[in-house]
C-alpha cells in the first residue's frame, strides 16, 4: 500500500489515539436508540402511555390520533439523533487514530440511553407532566424507576468506557 | 434493454405496489388520518392545531435541546 510521507502515522510509526469520536458517536446513537426503545416498548407494544396522555387520555379516537401525531414528532427527533450517530460512527470508523474498541462503543451506547431516560424522564414526566410511564397510575414509582434506570445506564456506560481506557488496548490500523 | 423475464417481474411489482396503495387508501383507518377530509380527520386536525401547536411542539421536543447541550459539554469537556 502506498503511504503518504506527510502522514504522521507513517513518518513516526506511532499514532496518538483519540477515543472521543467513538464515545460521541456511541452516545448520540444511544440517545436515539433509547428514544426508540421508549417509543416502541411503552408507546406501541405495551401502550402504557403516549406523548400527551396526561393531558389527552386515550379515551376517544381523536385523542388517540392526536397522541399518535405527537408520538411521531418525538420519534422524528429520535430518528435525527440516530442518523447523526450513524454519520459520526461512520466518520470515526474511517479514522486511523480512533481505536475500534467494542467495550467503549457499547459503554457509550448505554451512556446515551441513560442520558435519554434521565433527561426525558425529568422533563416529560416530572416538569412538564406530558405523560407518565404507566399513565393510569399518574406520577408513580414507575417514573422514579425510569429515572433510576437512566442513572444505572449512565454509571454503567461510564464504567465500561473507563475500564476499556485503562486496559490500554493498542491502536489497530484499518 | 430489459429481458422478457425482467419486464414480467417489473409488471408484477407494479401490480403489487398499486394494489397495496389502493388497499391503504380504501381502509377506514386511512380516512381517519389528520390530513383527510372526513369528520374524524377534521376533529383530529383541530386537536393538533388547537392554538397551542407551537407551545406543544416545544414541550414535546424539549428533551432534545437539553441532550444537545449535554453532548456539547461532553464534546468540549472530554479529554482524549
Other C-beta atoms closer than 10 Å to the C-beta of A57 total: 14
Grade residue A74 by pLDDT with cuts at 50, 70 and 90.
very high
Contact B61 A17 (CB under 8 A): no
pLDDT (tens digit, 9 = 90+) per residue, A157-171? 999 999 986 665 544
Q: Work out the end-to-end distance of chain A between its first and last CA atoms, rounded to an integer number of angstroms.
A: 12
Give DSSP secondary structure letters for A33-74: HHHHHIIIIIIIIS-S--TTTTTS-TTSHHHHHHHHHHHHHH
Decide: A30 and A111 in contact? Cβ < 8 Å: yes
Candidates A23, A31, A61, A65: best to mutate against B (most CBs of B within 10 A) is: A65
Q: Is the predicted pLDDT of residue A10 greater than 90, yes or no?
A: no
As a whole number of angstroms, the distance between CA A62 and CA A45 comes to 20
As a whole number of angstroms, the distance between CA A153 and CA B66 comes to 18
Grade residue B30 by pLDDT with cuts at 50, 70 and 90.
low
Contact B44 A77 (CB under 8 A): no
Contact A119 B57 (CB under 8 A): no
As a whole number of angstroms, the distance between CA A73 and CA A64 comes to 14
Contacts of residue A81 in chain B, CB cutoff 8 Å? 64, 67
Q: How far is B14 from chain A (nearest CA, A)?
A: 29
CB pairs under 8 A between A and B: 71
Contacts of residue B78 in chain A, CB cutoff 8 Å? 20, 23-24
pLDDT at A13: 46
ipTM at complex level: 0.86
Cell of B14: 407494479
pLDDT at A7: 39
What are φ and ψ of residue B35, in 5° steps? -95, 0
What are φ and ψ of residue A110, in 5° steps? -70, -35
pLDDT (tens digit, 9 = 90+) per residue, A122-137? 999 999 999 999 999 9
pLDDT at A85: 98
Query: 3-state SS of chain B?
Result: CCCHHHHHHHHHHHHHHHHHHHHHHHCHHHHCCCCCCCHHHHHHHHHHCCCCHHHHHHHHHCHHHHHHHHHHHHHHHCCC
pLDDT at A11: 36
pLDDT at B36: 77
Amino acid at each position: 500500500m502506498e503511504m503518504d510521507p506527510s502522514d504522521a502515522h507513517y513518518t513516526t510509526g506511532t499514532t496518538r489515539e483519540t477515543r472521543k469520536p467513538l464515545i460521541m458517536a456511541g452516545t448520540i446513537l444511544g440517545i436515539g436508540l433509547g428514544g426508540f426503545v421508549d417509543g416502541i416498548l411503552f408507546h406501541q407494544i405495551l401502550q402504557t402511555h403516549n406523548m400527551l396522555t396526561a393531558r389527552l387520555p386515550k379515551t376517544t379516537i381523536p385523542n388517540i390520533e392526536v397522541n399518535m401525531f405527537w408520538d411521531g414528532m418525538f420519534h422524528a427527533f429520535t430518528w435525527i439523533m440516530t442518523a447523526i450517530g450513524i454519520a459520526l460512527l461512520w466518520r470515526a470508523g474511517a479514522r486511523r487514530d480512533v481505536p475500534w474498541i467494542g467495550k467503549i462503543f457499547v459503554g457509550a451506547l448505554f451512556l446515551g440511553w441513560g442520558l435519554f431516560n434521565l433527561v426525558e424522564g425529568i422533563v416529560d414526566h416530572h416538569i412538564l407532566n406530558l405523560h407518565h410511564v404507566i399513565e393510569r397510575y399518574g406520577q408513580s414509582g414507575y417514573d422514579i424507576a425510569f429515572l433510576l434506570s437512566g442513572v444505572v445506564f449512565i454509571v454503567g456506560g461510564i464504567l465500561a468506557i473507563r475500564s476499556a481506557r485503562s486496559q490500554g488496548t493498542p491502536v489497530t490500523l484499518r | 434493454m430489459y429481458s422478457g423475464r425482467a419486464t414480467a417481474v417489473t409488471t408484477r411489482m407494479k401490480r403489487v405496489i398499486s394494489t397495496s396503495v389502493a388497499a391503504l387508501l380504501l381502509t377506514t383507518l386511512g380516512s381517519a388520518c389528520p390530513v383527510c377530509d372526513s369528520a374524524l380527520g377534521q376533529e383530529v386536525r383541530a386537536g393538533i392545531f388547537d392554538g397551542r401547536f407551537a407551545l406543544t411542539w416545544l414541550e414535546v421536543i424539549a428533551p432534545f435541546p437539553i441532550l444537545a447541550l449535554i453532548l456539547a459539554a461532553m464534546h468540549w469537556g472530554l479529554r482524549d
